[in-house]
Structure 1
Amino acid sequence: MRRLRTALPASVAAAAAALVLVASPAVAHGGKPTPRPPVVTDVATGLVTPLSLAVGPHGTTYVTQNFPGLLTAVGRDGTPSVLYASPDGGEVGGVSYADRRITFTETQLGEEGPVASEVSTLRTDRWGNPTGAPRVLADTFAYERAKNPDGRTAYGLLRTGRACLEQIPAGPLPARYTGIADSHPYATTTVRGTTYVADAGANAILSISERGKVRTVAVLPPQPAVVTAEFAASLGWPDCAVGQTYWFEAVPTDVEVGPRGVLYVTTLPGGPEDDSLGARGAVYTVDPWKGKVRQVASGFVGATNLAVTDQGTVYVSELMGGRISQAGRRGPSTVVEVPLPAGLEWDGKGLLATTNVLPPDDTTPPDGHLVRVDLGKHRGR
């Protein structure tokens, strides 16, 4: 994965929606109560970069604290307890839960990106308590180095003339290239013994069998964006690049199983993650048997996670957009505004989410939240 990283917009980092407690629905002029708006309630606070979560049994929620490398269980009363700590200081993320098994990812980061990555499982009892030590299910970094699923996929200025390409500097964004060997497993989900992985480095959805066999389900398609004058100037690109289309890598950030076994995937656009080149985050469906990929929603700013109901309603957390939205054919609609959301899950009654997942600046202590979102009028849709 090669993508231009951008700092969080100050407007997003500073914006924090108030948590509104509603005692009773208001009454409209026609005598009918107006639909109650969504209500956000804190479950736990003081978490450090809680980028993913999973709904566990009996009110337990599993939350990863990615940068300190912790897998945490949050009880019904909001009390957190550490289940696993990376012994090598790796990033722990991508947590999911199914069949009394917690699945999570661990990635070792070097100066230029990941240098090791794997998917592990942790068995639990009926109450969700670990019953042993984690077991490595698969080494995704080794698979990526051997297979490199997007190794033949071309990225960059694919339709730009040679004369202009020769004026493009070598960095920070290559003029043209094919997918590099890079693995950063970011999200997991398990169904009928098969674990699906959204690998943000490989730009692909992988599957892992119960015996640890890895295969590529699908490579996400390149993400086109028109080069603006401001973007070209920021890279030191010549004027001839302005108005050209650059095909960025798709960066899958979550994978969930929806109705009829279809996979739903969120993607970051692989370039600027804010809206400087437009709101380019998207949701795709992936056929887990044939690998067919279809875009079903777009227009998201920082689509970092999604939740899918039994009826197929899709909710998306937009990290840079500061909201949880509902995906629709005409674009996303805001469900609730929350500061810096990341993890998102549907528990059958409403949404669980993580917010405030990154500090707004270098001097503010981390204070990530696990919250419950009572959807009000959105419930059951």
Structure 2
Amino acid sequence: MKKVLLCSAIAAAALASVAIAAPAQAGGRHGDAPALGFSAPTTLASGLVTPLSLDIDRQGNAVVSQNFAGQLNRVSPGGTSTTLASATPGLEIGAVSSRRDTVYYAENDQPNGVAKLMALRAGSAAVQLADLHAYEASRNPDRVNRYGFRGLPAACAAQVDPAGQAGPATYRGIVDSHPYASLALRDGVYVADAGGNDIVRVGYDGRVSTVAVLPAQPPVTVTAALAAEAGLPACSVGYPYSFEPVPTDVESGPDGALYVSTLPGGPEDASLGARGSVYRVTPSNGAVQRVATGFVGATDLAVDQRSGTVLVAELFGGAAGTGQVSVVSPWSGRVTQRIAVTSPGAIELRNGVLYGTTSVFVPDADGAPQAIGQLVRWSVTDRAHHQRWGDDGERGRQ
């Protein structure tokens, strides 16, 4: 019952409390994360259409996607914008990352089975590095997961239309690929596939391998409202249902692990509770641990490479459901700050500056995205020590 990504109504419910149970970070200490000061945002670009993916290169340029417009742009520190790539009409561009002089991004057409990881080297034309849909079709890594109802009587399951919005009453992972985020490191490009529910690695020789499969969401109890919305029979009300995990970002941490944000797989707002999560993935063996939950629309994250502090962009977070960025301490296991940000899509932390895309999905009266997205930056300081905070160290990127 995975919905089309980022097409739910904006939440109106309050954010549930968030707790994290992260392992100790290398070189860390006990206590809360420092109290952070955020400057007023500086706008670097505006008029963007669904800027859902972002990276900051070594020169301090922002590389930002306009997903539904099929464009990839580079924005200089001074705000000058250059178009790097334009997709064939009907294709989405996203999953942006960079390493040295090369930008990596995905071209997607999820309904029609198009999911390609592209490489764009400075001074050259973009080339396909890997066909991610072909890999998904041949391997389908999340076939090990079982989604849907648990314990639903056979007579009721027979009333669930397998061709309907909800799909079969129970099912294994299907062939579906939507590369949503990427991370270029020394050993390859790690991709968070929101359709495949996994993290895959693409070597610089184009070979694809599975790093980890995210587990099915903890089951929720089907309500009458959910049954009506999803076209489920009334007899299904009260039974548990496990949605797909939908990874939305992958970042490296100071402990050598990968950190992955996820959407809840069903309604992305808070109608079934604040169910977005952050997972810790061990790349060497694929072990997965859920270390944080309680987010509403967790579309992206950033990890400070000195302290391990995690920042989470919540598209529908906050009391009004209009968006926020949450700062999560890796030591005490609590959200230490929440910063109101209108409809945040992507965030990146570099050298004492938090970059983010805002107003990324504010639909018009007809439900269509508007060209009102912005790329902004905030200077971040440690208030107690009156110094810049948040240097990711460029670990693994050289």
Q: TM-score, length-normalised on structure 2? A: 0.82
Matches within 5 A, 1:322-341: 322-328=323-329, 332-341=335-344
2:349 alignment counterpart: 346
Distance 2:233 2:103 in 1: 50
Shift of residue 380 of structure 1? 2.8
Shift of residue 340 of structure 1? 0.7
1:176 alignment counterpart: 170
**In the alignment, structure 1 residue 308 sits paired with structure 2 residue 303:** yes
Shift of residue 181 of structure 1? 0.7
2:245 alignment counterpart: 250
Shift of residue 365 of structure 1? 4.2
Distance 1:165 1:251 in 2: 24
Residues 4, 193 of structure 1: alpha-carbon distance in 2 compared, 3 angstrom cutoff: closer
Distance 2:82 2:106 in 1: 18
1:358 alignment counterpart: 361
Identity %: 44
- The answer as to whether partners of 2:381 and 2:389 remain within 8 angstroms in 1 is no
Residues 213-265 of structure 1 deviation map (CA, whole Å, 9 limit, x = unaligned)? 10111111001222123212323434442222101011010001111321000
Distance 1:196 1:186 in 2: 11
2:3 alignment counterpart: 3
Residues 315, 367 of structure 1: alpha-carbon distance in 2 compared, 3 angstrom cutoff: same
1:143 alignment counterpart: 135
Shift of residue 150 of structure 1? 1.2
By relative contact order (CA 8 Å, sep 6+), the higher-ranking structure is 2
Residues 290, 339 of structure 1: alpha-carbon distance in 2 compared, 3 angstrom cutoff: same
- The answer as to whether partners of 1:103 and 1:121 remain within 8 angstroms in 2 is yes
- The answer as to whether partners of 1:37 and 1:377 remain within 8 angstroms in 2 is no
Shift of residue 35 of structure 1? 7.3
- The answer as to whether partners of 2:166 and 2:232 remain within 8 angstroms in 1 is no
**In the alignment, structure 1 residue 320 sits paired with structure 2 residue 320:** no
Distance 1:95 1:371 in 2: 17
Q: Secondary structure at the match of 2:228?
A: helix
Which residue, 122, 125, 128 being the options, matches 1:133? 125
Matches within 5 A, 1:65-80: 65-80=66-81
Distance 2:130 2:107 in 1: 11
Residues 2-21 of structure 1 deviation map (CA, whole Å, 9 limit, x = unaligned)? 33775322759xxxxxxxxx
Distance 1:89 1:166 in 2: 37
- The answer as to whether partners of 2:257 and 2:282 remain within 8 angstroms in 1 is yes
Distance 1:300 1:160 in 2: 28
Distance 2:82 2:38 in 1: 32
Which residue, 203, 206, 210 being the options, matches 2:197? 203
2:144 alignment counterpart: 152
For structure 2, the 5+ residue unaligned runs are: 14-34, 318-322, 391-398
Which residue, 210, 230, 239 being the options, matches 1:235? 230
Shift of residue 36 of structure 1? 4.6
Q: TM-score, length-normalised on structure 1? A: 0.86
Residues 338-358 of structure 1 deviation map (CA, whole Å, 9 limit, x = unaligned)? 111011111121210000112
Aligned length: 351
For structure 1, the 5+ residue unaligned runs are: 13-33, 124-129
Distance 1:119 1:103 in 2: 7
Distance 1:361 1:35 in 2: 34
Residues 159, 334 of structure 1: alpha-carbon distance in 2 compared, 3 angstrom cutoff: farther
Instruction: Give, as a single letter, the amino acid of the residue that structure 2 aligns with 1:281.
Output: G
Residues 193, 135 of structure 1: alpha-carbon distance in 2 compared, 3 angstrom cutoff: farther
Q: Secondary structure at the match of 2:2?
A: coil
**Aligned-residue RMSD, C-alpha:** 2.2
